[in-house]
Structure 1
Amino acid sequence: MRPTQPSHSVPVLTLGWIFLRIGATAYGGLGTTLTLIERELVTKRGMLTPAEVTEALTYTKLLPGSTGPQAIAYLGYKLGGWSGSALATATFLFPSALLMVLLAAAYVATTALPAMGPTVKGLTAGVVGILLATTYRLGKPNVKEPLTWGIALVAFAVGAFLGISAALIVVIAGLLGMILLSPPSAVQDQQRKEG
C-alpha cells in the first residue's frame, strides 16, 4: 500500500522541537508516549485527531519491533512527509539514546542502592495507571457501538490472558470489523426488502 500524502504541514523546527520534548519526557514507554502525543498534538495543538493516533497504533502493531518509534515515524510522516518522519523519529529517540549511554555508565553504582527496588515498583505502578488512562482516552471516541466494544473486550482478553500475538489480534480484529461492521450492500438490502 502506497502511503498517502501528509495530511498536515508543520514547520520543520516546530516538528523537531515537539518530538524532542516528547522523547525527553516519555518515561515509561508506549503508554506515556501516547499520553504526551495526545496532550501535545491532539489536545493542545490540534495537529492530529484521536483517530489518527489510533490509526498509527493500528498500523504499527502489525510490524515487528518497538511500536513507539514506529508510531512516531508514522505520525511524523502525517505531519511533515518523509523528512518529517525522519526528523520526528530522530528527535524522539535522541534523548533516550543519550540517557541509556549515561545510565549504562552508572549501572553498577545504582543497582547496589537499597532504595532502587521500591522506587522501580512505584514507577511501574504509575506507568500502568498512565497506560490505562491513555487507553481510555484514545478508545472512548473510537469504540462506541456494542460490536466494537465486543471486539475490544475480546482483544483485551486474548491478549491479556492467552498471550496471543498483538499482530494476530489486530489482524483478526480488522477482519471481524470488515465482516461485522461493514454496511450492507445494495444487493443485501434488496434481498431483505423482497424477502
Structure 2
Amino acid sequence: MRTNAKARVILLFQLFWSFLRIAPVTFGGGYAMIPMIEREITAKRKWLSEAEMDDILSLAGSAPGGVGVNASAFIGYRLGGISGAIAAIAGITIPTFIIVCLLSSGYSQLADQPKVAAAMKGIHGAVIALILLAAYRMAKNAVFDKTTCAMAIIVLLVLLVADINPIYMIAIGLFIGIILLQVKQLLGLQVRTEKERLDYSREEAQYVEYYI
C-alpha cells in the first residue's frame, strides 16, 4: 500500500513538473503548446502512445476552453484520475498566470519601445509556426480518406467565407460523420474508421519489424 501511494505521489509530481516546464516556454498557448506536450508525453515520458495522444488532442480541440489546458486535463485524468488532472492543470496554468501578471504590469510602459515591438513580431511568427505544426500533426492522423479530406476542405472554406462559430461546425461535422457512416453501411460500401486505420498501421509496422 505504501509503495502504491508513493508511486502515485511521484506520478502526480511528474505530471505537475512536466506541464510546469512546458507552460513558460510556449508562447501563444493553445495549439502552440501541442507540439511540446506531445513531445513530452509520448516521446520523452512515453506515458501515452501516438494514437492515444491523437484521440486526446481531438477531444481537447472539440471541448470548450483552451486546447492546451483541456489536453493537460485529459492527459492528467488518463494517467492519474481526478488528482492527476488537477496536478496537470495546476502545472500548466500557474506559470502562465504569474507571467501574465508580470507582463501586464510592465507592458503598458514598454509597448511603445521599438525593441519590444520587434520582439513581439518575432513571437507572432514563432506562434504561427507552432500552430501550423500542430495543425499538420493532427491533420496527418485525422484526414485519412476522401470523405475526411472533403470534410476538412469544406469546413475550412465555410469558416473562411462565413462568420460561423467553430463550435457549430464541430457539431455539424459530428452529425455528418454519423450519417455518412450509416449511408455507407446501407450501400454496402467499405467503411474505414480512424481506429481501423491505426490498427492497420500497427499491424503493418509489426509485420515489417518481424520480417526485418
Same fold (TM over 0.5): yes
| Equivalence map 1:33-52=2 (5 Å) | 33-52=33-52
* Shift, 1:136, TM fit: 0.8
Distance in 1 between the 2:139 and 2:168 partners?
A: 19
In 1, are the aligned partners of 2:76 and 2:86 still within 8 Å (CA)?
Answer: yes
Q: Name the aligned partner's letter for residue 160 of structure 2.
A: A
1:107–1:70 Cα change, 3 Å:
same
The CA deviation string for residues 76-121 of structure 1, in whole angstroms up to 9 with x for no partner, is: 1112110011110011101111111211221233213122233222
Q: Name the aligned partner's letter for residue 77 of structure 1.
A: Y
Distance in 2 between the 1:50 and 1:160 partners?
A: 30
1:171 equivalent in structure 2:
171
1:21 equivalent in structure 2:
21
Distance in 2 between the 1:188 and 1:149 partners?
A: 21
Q: Name the aligned partner's letter for residue 107 of structure 1.
A: Y
Distance in 2 between the 1:60 and 1:97 partners?
A: 21
Distance in 1 between the 2:148 and 2:67 partners?
A: 23
In 1, are the aligned partners of 2:54 and 2:141 still within 8 Å (CA)?
Answer: no
1:49–1:139 Cα change, 3 Å:
farther
1:88–1:169 Cα change, 3 Å:
same
Distance in 2 between the 1:30 and 1:151 partners?
A: 23
In 2, are the aligned partners of 1:51 and 1:142 still within 8 Å (CA)?
Answer: no
Query: TM-score, normalization: structure 2?
Result: 0.74
2:135 equivalent in structure 1:
135
Distance in 2 between the 1:78 and 1:148 partners?
A: 27
1:115 equivalent in structure 2:
115
Q: Name the aligned partner's letter for residue 19 of structure 2.
A: F
| Equivalence map 1:1-195=2 (5 Å) | 11-182=11-182, 185=185, 189=188
* Structure 2 alignment gaps of length 5 or more: 1-7, 189-212
Where 1:115 maps in the other structure, the secondary structure is: helix
Distance in 2 between the 1:175 and 1:92 partners?
A: 33
* Shift, 1:188, TM fit: 6.0
Deviates more, 1:156-165 or 1:128-137: 156-165
1:15–1:182 Cα change, 3 Å:
farther
Of Structure 1 and Structure 2, the greater helix share is in 2
Distance in 2 between the 1:66 and 1:155 partners?
A: 21
The CA deviation string for residues 28-72 of structure 1, in whole angstroms up to 9 with x for no partner, is: 121221111111112333322344344334434454433321222
Deviates more, 1:134-143 or 1:157-166: 157-166
Distance in 1 between the 2:55 and 2:111 partners?
A: 39
* Structure 1 alignment gaps of length 5 or more: 1-8, 190-195
Identity across the alignment (%): 30
Distance in 1 between the 2:61 and 2:79 partners?
A: 20
Q: CA RMSD in A?
A: 2.4
